[in-house]
Structure 1
Amino acid sequence: MPSELPGIRPEQIDRSERSQWRYRAALPELFSREISLGEGSTPLLTVGTTFGELRVKTEWFNPSGSFKDRGMSVLISTLAALGIDDFLEDSSGNGGSSAAAYAAAAGMHAHILVPRGTSAAKQQQSLLYGATVEEFDGTRTETAAEAERRALSVFYASHNWHPAFLQGVKLMSYEIWEDLGFVAPDNVVVPAGAGSLVLGLSLGFGELLRAGSIERIPRIFAAQPANCAPLVEAFERGAAGVESGRLDRWSPTIAEGASIGAPVRDREVLAAIRASGGGLHAVSESDIVAALRHLLTQGLFTEPTGALGFAAALHSLDTGLITAGETTVVVLTGSGLKAAQAMSQLIGQQ
């Protein structure tokens, strides 16, 4: 699958389509049928803060409740074109429930391998779609390694590895571009575990730049929980990739969707952030919770992983890394309903 495509102009948007497939002209011609549940077309809202306004992309409006549906729609459409009807996916939650949803829509069977302790709500969602869910007694990184071992006997449709997934995620760039009147924002802030949002946005905005549809790409800022921040550590060292070694130096985090100690595309993610002029920031657990509480006061029920990016945006505004006069879009990755146990801990706390 090509990693670079020419991008599109506004007149190439299919305005009769109310999903991300309105940008199908930006995708490779690989699909015998489109496996879509109406993903995309999520609201871009304005949220006030002490430091100025931020725009937030509320990705829980996607069918399974997270941004992963964008990539999974294109990935499962690709698998359908290849005649694959049974596959393995490893996930800490959102990717697995999204894979299960789109497998059901395509008439496929998904086997989801999740690390021990993954949110019960996310596991239940996958099960109810008809997927097989198996808890693996290990960390997120160890679970991915186990999935790779099993790839010898089953098709491994990893959303962290497969290029078709990024082709779907990149369409968020096109949607933000259209949301803002066909201009690019100054900055985009996202949480990062494996970094698919960073790579997808970099890919999409790069295509729009090549098409002459925008004048420059936005700076991409990524946030990781301080309890598990291998990309931040590498970025601050000026390293090309994450340092291999003991993964037990990382601790559990409320932002479970970003808890990946050894991201498989670390070099690409770091290169994309540097090329955009952006940066990486490690966020404490208390700051994640504070950002989550602020969003809740605005009526926005995002998961803690989504609040991670918002916390980083607040820090960047406070330190002057970004300014209130700039247009900054923060991606709120998924619904707070996906993390019911973590969210319930906030009740009654000050």
Structure 2
Amino acid sequence: MLAFMTLSAHYRCSRCGTRSSVSSLTWCCPGCRGPWDLDFRAGPLSLEALAGRTGSLWRYAEALPLAGPHCSLGEGRTPLVRLTDTVSAKLDFLMPTLSFKDRGAVMLAELARRLAPRRVIADSSGNAGTAMAAYCARAGLDCTVYVPEGTSAKKLEQIRAHGARLTVVPGDREAAARAAREAAGEPGTFYASHVFNPYFLHGTKTYVYELWEDLGGRLPDTLVVPVGNGTLLLGAALATAELAEHGLIPSRPALVAVQAEAVAPLAEAFRAGADEPAAPAPARPTLAEGIAIPGPPRARQILRAVRESGGTFLTVTEDAIREAQLDLAARGLYVEPTGVACWAAVRAEPPGGGTVVPLCGAGAKTGLAAG
């Protein structure tokens, strides 16, 4: 019988080490306001044991901190397709809500379902909000999503269609996050933060478990990942560490993080050799709205994960994003501007060896980037 973490488990502050029960609705460290990590040790997997299991991310049960599926929509197991001789793309825009955020959202919704709060709130530039709205609908949970003004109309329509309340906040992405955090302190509120709650990261790490399975028990030399708040990158770092710990991969791949040149606080800190950005970046407009995060709360963790993997940071211009979106569309793949950032970064000069890039969100959610 598999052993699953119960709700008597504990959060641990990534900054100061303070602990709190998962059963509480405390969304961040009460002392330093840092994001939570999770005291959880994944069990080993084998390719043979996966045969015949459910065709979703819940097939990796030993590696997940919650048993499932309960509020599942069949998320995960997205295709891996070749773009060049050395670069392949994982089509995470084929998730139920058309973005990779479903991987983490289903974990947060399942956790909330068990905690039975009065309401769930989330903040998002769009994709995380649509994912939380959908999975809360599936779980029968009252949901409110805070988004910044300027969020894609198609994403707002999707959030409303799932029955969530929508609060449009004047200002940028950080303004929406501040408004949600203020509301998170109200009694009976579960803050489904894809940034502060580590269950989200344990959902996104299944991206790498799927690669490991699809590649026959190995990983590519390089994983190229878009980074704003870093939820996919940190999930990838979790998975590669777990697979290495259990001797399931001979070495860990390099993590290459991609940011839009317009808003690149982590890339700048990396190049300066700093542990974290000295200050939030200016909130400049960019087509890659989903990774335009001026001050990521997990900045230290992201920079450390990239350095420990032997990876690096790359930045992409607005013109490169437009060109990459059109190039993928010409190959039959219609992806939103944020979702093409990694292909924009590697299409001219791919890293050596095998490389995988994620295509994270569907073009149908935003349309073509304006020229």
TM-score > 0.5, shorter chain as reference: yes
DSSP 3-state at the match of 1:155:
strand
Distance of 1:272 and 1:4 partners within structure 2 = 18
- Superposed, which structure 2 residues align to 1:48-59 within 5 Å? 48=84, 52-59=85-92
Asked if 1:25 corresponds to 2:62, the answer is yes
Distance of 1:4 and 1:187 partners within structure 2 = 25
Distance of 2:221 and 2:118 partners within structure 1 = 42
Give how far 1:251 is off.
1.1
Residue number in structure 2 paired with 1:142: 175
- What is the TM-score normalised by the length of structure 1? 0.91
| C-alpha contact (below 8 Å) 2:61/2:67 kept by paired residues | no
Amino acid at match of 1:115: P
Residue number in structure 2 paired with 1:108: 141
Amino acid at match of 1:67: F
Distance of 2:332 and 2:69 partners within structure 1 = 37
Distance of 1:217 and 1:34 partners within structure 2 = 32
DSSP 3-state at the match of 2:42:
coil
| C-alpha contact (below 8 Å) 2:169/2:176 kept by paired residues | yes
DSSP 3-state at the match of 1:21:
helix
Residue number in structure 1 paired with 2:79: 43
Matching residue within 139, 152, 156 for 1:123: 156
DSSP 3-state at the match of 1:37:
coil
Matching residue within 328, 338, 354 for 1:295: 328
Matching residue within 290, 309, 327 for 2:354: 327
| C-alpha contact (below 8 Å) 2:58/2:69 kept by paired residues | no
Deviation >3 Å, runs of 4+: 30-33
Amino acid at match of 2:179: E
| C-alpha contact (below 8 Å) 1:56/1:331 kept by paired residues | yes
Asked if 1:34 corresponds to 2:70, the answer is yes
Matching residue within 90, 97, 116 for 1:83: 116
- Superposed, which structure 2 residues align to 1:234-245 within 5 Å? 234-245=269-280
Q: Choose 261-270 or 137-146, whichever is displaced more.
A: 137-146
DSSP 3-state at the match of 2:90:
strand
Give how far 1:67 is off.
0.3
DSSP 3-state at the match of 2:366:
helix
Distance of 1:265 and 1:195 partners within structure 2 = 7
Give how far 1:316 is off.
4.2
In structure 2, do the counterparts of structure 1 residues 6 and 32 end up closer, same or farther at CA, with 3 Å as the change threshold? closer
In structure 2, do the counterparts of structure 1 residues 140 and 182 end up closer, same or farther at CA, with 3 Å as the change threshold? same
The count of residues paired between Structure 1 and Structure 2 equals: 332
DSSP 3-state at the match of 1:262:
coil
Identity %: 40
DSSP 3-state at the match of 2:190:
coil
| C-alpha contact (below 8 Å) 1:88/1:110 kept by paired residues | yes
| C-alpha contact (below 8 Å) 1:85/1:107 kept by paired residues | no
Amino acid at match of 2:57: Q
Distance of 1:142 and 1:239 partners within structure 2 = 26
Asked if 1:282 corresponds to 2:315, the answer is yes
Greater RCO structure (CA 8 Å; 6+ sep): 1
Give how far 1:32 is off.
7.3
Asked if 1:160 corresponds to 2:195, the answer is yes
Residue number in structure 2 paired with 1:211: 246
Give how far 1:345 is off.
3.1
DSSP 3-state at the match of 1:224:
strand
Matching residue within 247, 260, 265 for 2:298: 265
| C-alpha contact (below 8 Å) 1:33/1:80 kept by paired residues | no
Distance of 2:44 and 2:342 partners within structure 1 = 27
Distance of 2:299 and 2:348 partners within structure 1 = 23
Distance of 1:8 and 1:32 partners within structure 2 = 17
Distance of 1:35 and 1:84 partners within structure 2 = 16
Amino acid at match of 2:249: I
Q: CA RMSD in A?
A: 1.6
Unaligned runs of 5+ in 2: 1-37
Give how far 1:289 is off.
1.0
Distance of 2:118 and 2:132 partners within structure 1 = 12
- What is the TM-score normalised by the length of structure 2? 0.86
Residue number in structure 1 paired with 2:267: 232
DSSP 3-state at the match of 1:74:
helix
Unaligned runs of 5+ in 1: none
Amino acid at match of 1:331: P
| C-alpha contact (below 8 Å) 2:324/2:341 kept by paired residues | yes
Amino acid at match of 1:180: L
Give how far 1:73 is off.
1.0
Amino acid at match of 1:158: S
Residue number in structure 1 paired with 2:32: none
User: Larger helix proportion, structure 1 or 2?
Assistant: 1
